[in-house]
Amino acid sequence: MKEHLHKISLFVKNLDNEVLSVVQTISTTKHVKKGEYLLRHDEVCRHSYWIEQGVLRKFYVHEGKEHTTELLFENDIAVSLASYSLQKPGREYIQAITEAVVSQTDFASFQTAKKVYPQLMELDLLMTEYHAVWLEKRLYEFHTLDATQRYKLLLQEHPHILHTVPLTYIASYLGISLETLSRIRAKI
Amino acid sequence: MKEHLHKISLFVKNLDNEVLSVVQTISTTKHVKKGEYLLRHDEVCRHSYWIEQGVLRKFYVHEGKEHTTELLFENDIAVSLASYSLQKPGREYIQAITEAVVSQTDFASFQTAKKVYPQLMELDLLMTEYHAVWLEKRLYEFHTLDATQRYKLLLQEHPHILHTVPLTYIASYLGISLETLSRIRAKI
DNA sequence: CGAGGCCTTGACCGCGGTCAATGCCCGTGG
DNA sequence: CCACGGGCATTGACCGCGGTCAAGGCCTCG
């Protein structure tokens, strides 16, 4: 995963200034309050959000229960791919779990820009590949690790997570109940 | 998912003839025997395989046990993304579970072609988006459906699967043991 | 006819879920 | 300043899905 991110940031570093400034012009900075929603169930995801500060989560609701699919930190990009890529309503919510500052890019403008600047098309491809590999990793972890191992791994990858993300969301992200997470923590 | 596939096939239909013929020249047809491997653990995935005929599976081995991550049929594309996108060794195997005919495209040649023909870059993006959305769907199903529901859904989506894919692989793909699958089938 | 691959069936167990009670922290108002 | 209420987390009792191990059935092919 690290290598993938490195490849992307290298690519961004080498982007033409013209391309960079185009991206600037189609993006706007947005301040988000804790608890605020950037996307709701059944809405079309018309923006991607580059997180400058703060923490977001993505989740859906199934049988009255929230399932957190992603926890997003600085420099991550928040987007509900299924909804975004086809511009049709999706099931996911995107919510700020701390105060946050995001740079929001409009889908339609970005589509247009991609046609004009193939570099942006390539960037989009790189980021989508990254996301797909990340999803494969997540599936892999669910199939090969038990709840305790997944929790330990999460702590390793995000040492500060306990300071910013409530245990409820962490449990949900790990695919376990809050009670089970509590027992795991007591046992360690 | 259907809509995504439709969007892709529409895109392919509208490709310039020049682009199509370029893709032809960097692809070669390959006949694969039942049981044969197209990719092994620790190898670099240097090709993508467009399946013209037959069935493939993708899997990895963890603690001596095979985990099937994907079952691939006609018109699917087999590629081990983590290995392919960074051209580094990966954990996945790709194996034919019936006799098969695939059109194999070389990674390096395709990279070059993408730089020359932005349409191919866009096509690659569309296919990668599709794969990512598919992965999200798979995660969703694991978190919201029990083993029986997943089995029924699989039968719905691939009515002929029982004729071509051994139950061992189906169980593995569903993330359950062969015994559990057997009990589910007895119960239905 | 015998051997091996594939699947089924049975007995047992453990991880993680649910429900419910309790604990703890903190902000607000009397 | 303390008391109370609400949100978040912990703990306990119990249960069920799906795993494991082991035995047995059933084809197919040599």
Q: What does the pLDDT look like over A116-172, one tens digit per residue? A: 999 999 999 999 999 999 999 999 999 999 999 999 999 999 999 999 999 999 999
Task: Specify the 3-state DSSP secondary structure of B14.
Answer: coil
Nearest-CB residue to B132 (from A60, A131, A142): A131
> B78 burial class (0-12, 13-18, 19+ CB within 10 angstroms)?
buried
pLDDT in tens, A17-48: 999 999 999 999 999 999 999 999 999 999 99
Is A67's CB within 8 Å of B144's CB? yes
- In this model, does residue A9 exceed pLDDT 90? yes
Residue B168 Cβ < 7 Å to strand C: yes
pLDDT score for B188: 86
| Contact status of B28 with chain A (Cβ, < 8 Å) | no
- The residue that minimises its CA distance to C1' of C17 is A177
Measured CA to C1', the nucleotide nearest A145 is C15
Q: A20 phi and psi, to 5 degrees? A: -60, -45
Residue A167 Cβ < 7 Å to strand D: yes
| Contacting residues of B for A129, CB less than 8 Å apart | 81, 85, 128
pLDDT score for B2: 85
Residues constituting chain B: 188
Chain B segment 47-76 residues within 8 A of A by beta carbon are: 60, 62-63, 67, 69
Cα–Cα distance for residue pair A71/A55, rounded to 1 Å: 7
pLDDT band of residue B50 (cuts 50, 70, 90) is very high
- Separation between the CA of A29 and the C1’ of C29 (whole angstroms): 39
**CA distance readout (Å), A26 to A139, B29, B124:** 34, 44, 24
The CATH superfamily holding the domain B2-144 is Jelly Rolls (2.60.120.10)
Bases of chain C within 7 A of a CB of the protein: 6-11, 15-20
What are the tokens at B95? 């194996």
Nearest-CB residue to A125 (from B125, B137, B175): B125
- Separation between the CA of A52 and the C1’ of D27 (whole angstroms): 63
- Separation between the CA of B180 and the C1’ of D16 (whole angstroms): 14
Q: What class does CATH assign to A15-117?
A: mainly beta
Look at the block and give the residue holding tokens 């086809």: A86
Domain boundaries, chain A: 15-117
What does the angle CA A51 – CA A54 – CA A60 come to, to the nearest 5 degrees?
80
pLDDT score for B19: 94
Cα–Cα distance for residue pair B165/B171, rounded to 1 Å: 10
Percent of chain B scored above 70 by pLDDT? 100
Report the first-to-last Cα separation within chain B, whole angstroms: 27
From B66, B71, B80, select the one nearest B98 (Cα to Cα). B71
Task: Specify the 3-state DSSP secondary structure of B64.
Answer: coil
Residues contacting residue B57 through CB under 8 Å, at least 6 positions apart:
B68, B70, B71, B72, B94, B95, B97, B165, B169, B173
What are the tokens at B180? 């559990």
Bases of chain D within 7 A of a CB of the protein: 8-13, 17-22
pLDDT score for B176: 97
Average pLDDT of chain A, as a whole number = 96
- Which residue is closest to B114 within chain A, CA to CA? A122
pLDDT score for B1: 85
Average pLDDT of chain B, as a whole number = 96
- Which residue is closest to B129 within chain A, CA to CA? A128
pLDDT band of residue A12 (cuts 50, 70, 90) is very high
Number of CB atoms found within 10 A of residue B145's CB: 15
Residues contacting residue B64 through CB under 8 Å, at least 6 positions apart:
none
| Contacting residues of A for B77, CB less than 8 Å apart | none
Is A7's CB within 8 Å of B69's CB? no
pLDDT score for A188: 86
Cα–Cα distance for residue pair A133/B144, rounded to 1 Å: 22
| Contact status of B135 with chain A (Cβ, < 8 Å) | yes
pLDDT score for A87: 97
